[in-house]
Amino acid sequence: MSETQSKKASNKSETLTYEEIQALPKCDLHCHLDGSLRVPTMIEIAKKRGIELPAMDEEGLQKVLEAGARRNSLADYLRSFDLTLSVMQDEEDIAQIATELCEDAWADGIWYLEVRFSPILHQDKGLKLTQVMEAVLQGLREGERRTGIKTGIIICGIRSIEPSVSVRLAELTVAYKGRGVVGFDLAGREDHYPAKDHAEAFYLIRSNNIPCTVHAGEAWGPGSIKQAIHDLSAHRIGHGTRLKEDGDLLNYVNDNRIPLECCLSSNVHVGTVESLEVHPLRFYFDYGLRVTINTDNRLISATTVTREYQIAHEVLGLSRRELGSIIIMGFKSTFLPYADRKALVGRVLDALGRSKIPF
Ligand SMILES: [Zn+2]
């Protein structure tokens, strides 16, 4: 019996159901707005705006998006975003999508959501960057009003778009700091687009005391994580899946408590790991790294945070207590001010204490 199998067997008596995990307080720190739409909303907007999607029925469109997500390549995975972005070019549609994401995340047991997007990708019909920002902010405020969720925005620079654009997006982040925006990110294709090319944008972010995260170690190796930490001063790493290939860097990340934003299903879909069974989350957790569990893209990877925790529980054999630890590490890793974070962690600990998860 393998180590994973024996762990799974020993946890059998304490198996959590989907509903039990859903009821636990959780956060989602890595969630792309343009990857987390509702399929019926995509169709509704497409019909309203006269946009041609590859399928105009729910089942057909879901199939197209799922097929796109499972091509084992980050570059191919990212092509599905051409479809979602085609229906995210008008303010009211963007606001509606942001509100619905809050509702979906709240139903998933998410108490705190950091949602990321790149405003530059919503300008096909001439919206200004500020109009895109206001639309998302309005949508999130409405979502917060309808539910009990708290949200924060992370603005994304894109690796494959000119570094000067990342600087403009960093300036936007500086302007909206404390007004709904909590951080900055670098997303997009890792191969051929090194993070350090965008150092100027991150210098501006750093000089304005804004937290940042960088997608790294997903499609490219640990060198990409090294650049994210040392050239861009990333406070968190988006994915970091291939960190295990460099032991020295692994220890640096651990010693400095740099959180990894793990997204299990997405890593399989883009081909970073061969299967869920071999995902390094279990090893990272056992080694002591600060790991968090997130969706990446609720629609494109057809998942929820609950589902991702269920995978960690059932496939990687993490126990109830271990899931509780990851929940806490998630809330500790938010880009909220320390006092807010501390208060939130306190409320989460209370809620977990009331549940049957032992600490
Ligand atoms: Zn991502």
Mean pLDDT of 90-102: 98
Q: Which letter does DSSP use for residue 259 in this model?
A: P
- Residue 295, Cβ density class (10 Å: 0-12 exposed, 13-18 middle, ≥19 buried): buried
Whole-number pLDDT of residue 1? 38
Give percent of the chain above pLDDT 90. Answer: 83
Q: How far apart are CA 223 and CA 221, in angstroms?
A: 5
Q: What is the mean pLDDT of the chain?
A: 93
Greater confidence (23 vs 195) lies with 23
Among residues 218, 261, 308, 322, the one annotated as catalytic is 218
Split at pLDDT 50, 70, 90, the class of 359 is: low
Mean pLDDT of 307-311: 98
Q: Cα of 73 to ligand 1 centre, how many Å?
A: 14
Greater confidence (40 vs 12) lies with 40
Strand partners, 261: 238, 292
Other beta carbons less than 10 A from residue 93's beta carbon: 22
Strand partners, 156: 185
What pTM was computed for the model?
Answer: 0.94
All structural domains of the chain, each given as residue ranges with its CATH number in brackets, are 26-301+328-336 (3.20.20.140)
> Starting at the edge strand that comes first in sequence, how are the strands of the sheet with 260-262 ordered?
26-32, 110-117, 150-158, 181-187, 212-216, 236-239, 260-262, 291-293
Active site residue 218: yes
Query: Which residue, 356, 314, 359, is CA-closest to 9?
Result: 314
Sign of CA dihedral 297, 340, 285, 238: positive
Q: Cα of 350 to ligand 1 centre, how many Å?
A: 30
Greater confidence (229 vs 73) lies with 229
Give SS3 for 293. strand
Whole-number pLDDT of residue 356? 67
Give 176's contacts (C-beta < 8 A, 6+ positions apart).
133, 153, 155
Split at pLDDT 50, 70, 90, the class of 111 is: very high
Q: How far apart are CA 46 and CA 90, in angstroms?
A: 11
Which two structure tokens, joined as six digits, stand for 278? 């071999």
Q: What is the pLDDT of residues 200-250, one digit of tens each?
A: 999 999 999 999 999 998 878 899 999 999 999 999 999 999 999 999 999
Q: How far apart are CA 295 and CA 265, in angstroms?
A: 8
Query: Which residue, 251, 316, 267, 263, is CA-closest to 291?
Result: 263
Mean pLDDT of 275-301: 97
Whole-number pLDDT of residue 6? 44
- For the cut 70, the answer to whether the pLDDT of residue 320 exceeds it is yes
Q: Cα of 159 to ligand 1 centre, how many Å?
A: 12
Q: Cα of 260 to ligand 1 centre, how many Å?
A: 12
5-19, 226-240, 265-279: least confident range: 5-19
Split at pLDDT 50, 70, 90, the class of 19 is: very high
The torsion region of residue 219 among left (phi > 0), alpha (psi -120 to 50) and beta comes to: alpha
Mean pLDDT of 81-93: 96
- For the cut 50, the answer to whether the pLDDT of residue 10 exceeds it is no
Q: Residues for the chain: how many in total?
A: 359
Q: Cα of 164 to ligand 1 centre, how many Å?
A: 21
- For the cut 70, the answer to whether the pLDDT of residue 12 exceeds it is no
Other beta carbons less than 10 A from residue 155's beta carbon: 28
- For the cut 60, the answer to whether the pLDDT of residue 154 exceeds it is yes
The Cα angle at residue 270 between residues 11 and 291, in degrees rounded to 5: 45
